[in-house]
Structure formats: C-alpha cells, structure tokens
Amino acid sequence: MRELRRLAAERLIREHPDVVEADDRGAPVVRGRVLTLSPSPEALAAAAKAGFLSGPRITEPELGLESVALIAPKGMAAREAVRRLRALDPEGRYDLDHIYQEGGSVSGALRDRPAAVPGGIRVGLVDGSVATDHPSFNGVQLTQRAFAPGGARVTAHATAVASLLAGSQGAFRGSAPGAMVLVADVYGPTPAGGSAQAIVSGLAWLAQNKVGVINISLVGPPNLVLAAAIRGLVSRGALIVAAVGNDGPAAPPLYPAAYPGVVAVTGVDARNQVLPEAGRGAHVAFAAPGAQMAAAAPSGGFTTVRGTSFAAPLVAGALAADLPAPDPARAAAALRHLSARAQDLGARGRDPVFGQGLVANDLRVDPLRVNARAVALRGP
C-alpha cells in the first residue's frame, strides 16, 4: 500500500502540474506555496521585497499559533522558495505546504445540520465531507465546514470514518452512536486539497469549538506548522487520534500520528493479527479493528473497508465519551481508562506493534451482516 500511495502521489503531480508539485522526496505539495510560523513583520517585508505575495493567514491565540502562506514569484518552485526565504531570514521557520493523502472518494450533496447540543458526546473529524443523508446518521448531529479552496466535497473515506465514529443502523454501530460530530473538510474539490494549511485551519476551528477528541485518518510527512497546531492542542488537553498509516512495518513513521502526544492507532484483522501493511513504532498507542469490516457508503448501504484509517475512529469515539472538552487531567484519565480496558496482544505490555493493546473489538461488523459491497474502500 506504500507503493499505491506513492503512485497516487505521482499521478496527482502529473495530472495537475499547475497546482501541485513534488518536494525533494517526491511527495506532493501545493505549487509555489510556503508556510511560515510566527513570522516577524521584518521577515514578511523582506519576502515582499523579494517578490513573494502574502496569502491566507491563520491566527489562533488559543493554540499560540500564527502562520502566513507566502506565494512564490512566478516560475519559482516551492523547494527553491523555501531555500530563498531561509536565506533571507535564517532565524525564520518555513516549510512546504504538504498534501496529506486519504483513500477513494465520491461526489454527493451536503445537508447542513444544527450545531452540537451542550451536554452530549462531541468529537471532531478532519477529513472530507460526510454524506449526511446516509441512514446510519439519523439522529446524529453533523456540523460541517469547508477549509479547502472551492468549498466542500463528500468523500467515501470521510463518510466511512464518520459512520465508525457515530453511526448506527440495524446491526451496524460506531464507537459513539449518536455523538455530535464537527467535520472539518480539508479536501474540497481541488487537486491541492488535503494541504497542511487546510488541516491546520480545520484544527483551529475545532479548537475554537472546544472539541476534546479529534480524529485524523490522514497521513503524510512532518510539517512545521502542523506540528505547532498539534502541540498547541495537546498542551491544552485535547486528544488527537490518528491512523499510523499503511506504508508497511519497515516504513518511516507517518504524521500526524508520529507527533508526541498523538494517540496513534493501528489496525487488526478478524483474527486479531496486525494488518501486514500497518505502520509500527514506539508511537503506536492502541490497536482496533481495521479489516474484514463494514462502514457506511455515500450512496447508501455499506461497503467493506480496510486500513488503519478505519481503526482510528473506533478509538476516538471511545475516548470522546470521557473527554467532552479539552482538559489535561481528564485527557490523561481517559487514556488510562481506555488502557485498562485494552486486550494485551503481542509482547507483554506496550509494544511497537499493538501499543497498549486491542480496544473496540466488539464493534467490528462483518460485511455479510449488512450486505456490504465486496469492493473494499482502503484508508491511508
């Protein structure tokens, strides 16, 4: 699956060279755009003098975060733009606007729902938009907001993940049925969707709404501005739950799962064997079902899913019941509570394959029970 993700990145770069280019390792980034972290007025003035234009700004005092996107002069690659800005401002912090990847998608119509009602379980989702008219979301309060250029776009990946968070229909149920889900759509309809800037903007919105648990089933390289946003959320007592990714056990760690303080989740199959494609490492916190299972499809009905993307929401929903809003003490207690319920697998105690152990195993719904389509939707 690491190879599939690489091929998908190459195709994105090849088919949309006007908005996407490659970094030094071949990963996709937004063409000609550089993200800055807490830039000084002098640095911005020097960049303007060198021909850079100021783009969107993210200011979130609650996270101690300020970032400005800088647009490189026409014809300058993003990699060269970062080098030029670092030369102009050696003390500054600059990074590419990396694009984070997810599995397949399908178009659909959005229907707005009211904001979360105080007192219920709330959970955040950073992904695409969710097909709110799916029957499994009856009674679920979904509030969606778009952060990528061009507005919102329903995706199969987001719909499946949201159903595993809060859905319920017949034999199918998610980890926190009926929970109130705030969805930050960071993809939209453009090829540059899933950028670090869009993800950080979505995280800032969720921080403003005091969401305690946020699910991110997306993967990509480390990014300076994304790391700062995650650090701010974690320090304020939010729990970020992220998929470890499916690049294989020997692959380098993927982000945001590998950032300190993030609850990194791996996947297991119906025999409680770790998925062979799942990432491994000291950052792995929990395992949950990630294969031979069903989730909602945007067109109605259910589809078969596979990947650590679909294990993460089962953990996020379990944690959300214990953490309605950011709180460092309650976040620590929620993790202890979940650890106490985890089934130890593999080496005794925490290990780099299963983390603290398996949780939410009772939530695996066999595809045959809900007549799920056989074509699998895979996660990153």
User: Shortest CA distance to 334 belongs to which of 212, 167, 206?
Assistant: 212
* Shared domain check, 219 and 302: yes
Residues ≥6 apart with Cβ < 8 Å to 281: 244, 253, 258, 264, 352
Encode pLDDT of 344-362 as tens digits. Answer: 998 898 999 999 999 999 9
Tell me if 190 is assigned to some domain: yes
CB 83 within 8 A of CB 52: no
pLDDT recorded at residue 4: 75
pLDDT recorded at residue 117: 35
Both structure tokens of 63: 């996270």
pLDDT recorded at residue 257: 97
Tell me if 69 is assigned to some domain: yes
Three-state secondary structure call for residue 39? coil
Q: Structure pTM?
A: 0.91
* Shared domain check, 325 and 205: yes
Question: How many independent structural domains does the chain possess?
Answer: 2
pLDDT recorded at residue 91: 94
* Shared domain check, 222 and 343: yes
pLDDT recorded at residue 118: 36
Tell me if 300 is assigned to some domain: yes
pLDDT recorded at residue 374: 66
Encode pLDDT of 257-306 as tens digits. Answer: 999 999 999 999 999 999 999 999 999 999 999 999 999 999 889 999 99
Which segments of the chain have a pLDDT < 50? 103-119
CATH number at residue 222: 3.40.50.200
* Shared domain check, 350 and 208: yes
Structural domain of 58: 2-98
Residue 96 main-chain phi, psi, to 5 deg: -75, 160
pLDDT recorded at residue 107: 23
CB 78 within 8 A of CB 30: yes
Q: How far apart are CA 59 and CA 71, in angstroms?
A: 18
pLDDT recorded at residue 319: 97
pLDDT recorded at residue 33: 96
